[in-house]
Structure 1
Amino acid sequence: MSGRTRLRGRFQLFATLLVTLVQLPTVLWLCWLTRTPLPLAVAVPVSFPYLRQLQSPWHTTAPALSTYLALGWWAACAVFDVLMLPAALAVQAGLPRGVTWGVAGAIALVLGTDSVLGRPRLRKRVVHVEGLSPELDGYRIGQLSDVHCGPHAPESRVSSWVARLNALDLDLVTVTGDLITHGSSHVEAVARALGGLRAKDGAFACMGNHDYFTDGEHLVRELERQGVTVLRNRGVVVQRGGARLYVAGVDDTWTSRHDVARALAKRPEGVPTVLLAHDPDLFPEAQARSVELTLSGHTHGGQLGVPGVRRLSLARFVSRWTAGLYRQGRSWLYVNRGAGTTGPPARLGAPAELAVITLRRA
């Protein structure tokens, strides 16, 4: 047996133990409720096809239906596990047993379904910029991040995200890295889809770590052939009437290609700057160089977290800047949770998103 086969076997064993623990409280409760082993007989065939073909945290050969069915079921079980204690306390306090447990089950099913089938939310934020020209007051920037075009985010799905942004009639549209999952199979597809982005002042992108899990130069060529300007440690000046905006992009940090100083080297003095940086850990350096707005992604908001509490998510293992809007001095950072996923195509407590940032005079 090869080392790779042993590693895959150990990972499958770990994943099986983990999902068993997640399902166990819910399945045992359902068995007790129905007085039959039927819930257990359902849980096993739902989980087995996905687990059997799981090769790594990022790859499985299981068909889409069994993948979404298993992940949605596990997410629903996780939510129900959390709700079991408060539901039991509510019943003990006198609330109707059937209604209480029915509501808990409905919440679990809704959130479980949404975790695998939910469409990205549209997030709208306002950033106040000191010294912003009146011509740029109200300037709207769209952000699409962490597309991860691949088996779970095909070209048609990416195109639907593009269409939603196009419908907003934006001033500028940005794509902040991780356009593909890995390999070359979806390079042309994601370039075609993103080539459909439309905004008054154009579409700009920066590279993420996954974009070098293939031939990065090939990806850049395809994107630019489709009309997307890729900013790798460089910037361009966008003109709006008599006002100017400097739009810059930083290359990938994981492969040490990033160079913030170089990206800002040609920034005209006094011109507000929007920096595309896939990795939010570059924000302190951007702030030190007086960048007004940094747009990042990378964290996915953890993909798994406590709803409404951005500090409590798996993203804390990736960066201190987990999701949403941050401010230090006169510099702002927006960390996009991303539209796609890496690893299992599921989110719980960290919904996918598209963002629109509006610039306003401070």
Structure 2
Amino acid sequence: MDTMFGLLISGILACVVCFGIYSSIIERFWFRIQHVRIPIVRLPKPFSQFRIVLISDIHMGFFFSQKHFRSVVEEINKLHPDMICFAGDLLDSDSCVASMGSTIPLLRKLAAPYGKFAILGNHDYRAGIQHVVSGLEKGGFRVLINEHTVIQKDAEVMFIVGLDDILKGKPNPEQAFEGIPEDACTLLLVHEPDFADVSKKLPIQLQLSGHSHGGQVRIPFIGPIVTTKFGRKYVSNLYHFDSFKLYTSRGIGTTGLPVRFCCRPEITVITLEQNSEIVTYIK
């Protein structure tokens, strides 16, 4: 009996050690390139096959270094996106501000002919938004805080709206959407995905978010064991609300604990489709 009990304890300890090594050293840096095609209502014809790379939740400085981010930048540039969107949480906290100096040159290397756009996340407020906004802008990103911009292609336009963080900021949809025609094709960047319950009532076709990290630790056939405020309903992947759609990224980095299990970090390539009812994933 003592021998069996000892074997059981040894087996449990071995499993814990294996889980710790895999989740903190292997899966956490095993980036997945997720391709998804999304049909967009009112998408102007020139924007059909338009490719957006979405990244989120880098949490630079929280067990995530310049070396790790460099590999992300290299992977993104290999994808040759038309546009890059960053959905918030560049830094993890104020203790990570020192890492911004090495982050800015890497942000500059990201290339997209139709621009690079970013919003703020709740951890960016913890780090100090003055540092984050300055770093993103020096890295070539347009930071959208309750405002919008216009992307033009072959005389047709698409609007990109960015809201302030829902948890820590002061989101103002009325200000952000002011001047956008109701029949326009409009994409929304907002850090927290559960804002979709509000977004689906607004004149937009697609919301891009992060924040949830997909839960970071997921149990097969069950899902994430821990979720976060405003990231509990729409934790990851694509959601449909009639003509409105939401995509939630699992993000790049981690917070809380530097582990991922059954929830690989994600670089998302979104290809916009015109007037199609079929959504396909390319593995």
* TM-score interval for Structure 1 and Structure 2 normalised by the shorter chain: 0.7 to 0.9
Gaps of 5+ in 1: 1-27, 47-70, 77-108
1:356 aligns with 2:269: yes
Q: Separation in 2 of the partners of 1:316 and 1:252?
A: 14
Question: Does the C-alpha gap of structure 1 residues 112 and 145 become closer, same or farther in structure 2, counting only changes over 3 Å?
Answer: closer
RMSD: 2.7
Q: Separation in 2 of the partners of 1:133 and 1:320?
A: 31
1:282-301 alignment runs, 5 A limit: 282-301=195-214
SS in 2 for 1:262: helix
Q: Separation in 2 of the partners of 1:241 and 1:294?
A: 24
Question: Does the C-alpha gap of structure 1 residues 72 and 259 become closer, same or farther in structure 2, counting only changes over 3 Å?
Answer: farther
Runs of 4 or more consecutive aligned structure 1 residues displaced over 6 Å after TM superposition? 109-112
- How many residues end up aligned between the 2 structures? 270
C-alpha displacement at 1:30, in angstroms? Answer: 9.2
1:261 aligns with 2:174: yes
Q: Separation in 2 of the partners of 1:189 and 1:246?
A: 32
Greater Rg over alpha carbons, structure: 1
Question: Over residues 343-362 of structure 1, what are the superposed CA-to-partner deviations in whole Å (9 max), with x where a residue is unaligned?
Answer: 22111122111101111012
Q: Separation in 2 of the partners of 1:30 and 1:196?
A: 56
1:315 aligns with 2:227: yes
Q: Separation in 2 of the partners of 1:236 and 1:308?
A: 41
1:214-293 alignment runs, 5 A limit: 214-293=127-206
- In structure 2, the partner of 1:121 is 32
C-alpha displacement at 1:326, in angstroms? Answer: 0.3
Q: Separation in 2 of the partners of 1:161 and 1:127?
A: 23
1:159 aligns with 2:45: no
More helix by share: 1
Identity %: 29
Q: RCO higher in 1 or 2 (8 Å CA, sep ≥ 6)? A: 2
- In structure 2, the partner of 1:142 is 53
SS in 1 for 2:268: strand
Question: Does the C-alpha gap of structure 1 residues 130 and 110 become closer, same or farther in structure 2, counting only changes over 3 Å?
Answer: same
* One-letter amino acid matched to 2:227: A
Q: Give the one of 154, 157, 169 matched to 2:80.
A: 169
1:1-362 alignment runs, 5 A limit: 31-32=6-7, 39=10, 73=17, 75=19, 114-116=26-28, 118-183=29-94, 184-307=97-220, 310=223, 312-315=224-227, 318-362=231-275
TM-score (normalised: structure 2): 0.86
* One-letter amino acid matched to 2:119: C
TM-score (normalised: structure 1): 0.68
Gaps of 5+ in 2: 276-283
* One-letter amino acid matched to 2:17: W
Question: Does the C-alpha gap of structure 1 residues 341 and 151 become closer, same or farther in structure 2, counting only changes over 3 Å?
Answer: closer
Question: Does the C-alpha gap of structure 1 residues 308 and 172 become closer, same or farther in structure 2, counting only changes over 3 Å?
Answer: farther
Question: Over residues 15-57 of structure 1, what are the superposed CA-to-partner deviations in whole Å (9 max), with x where a residue is unaligned?
Answer: xxxxxxxxxxxxx979428xxx9x49xx5xx9xxxxxxxxxxx
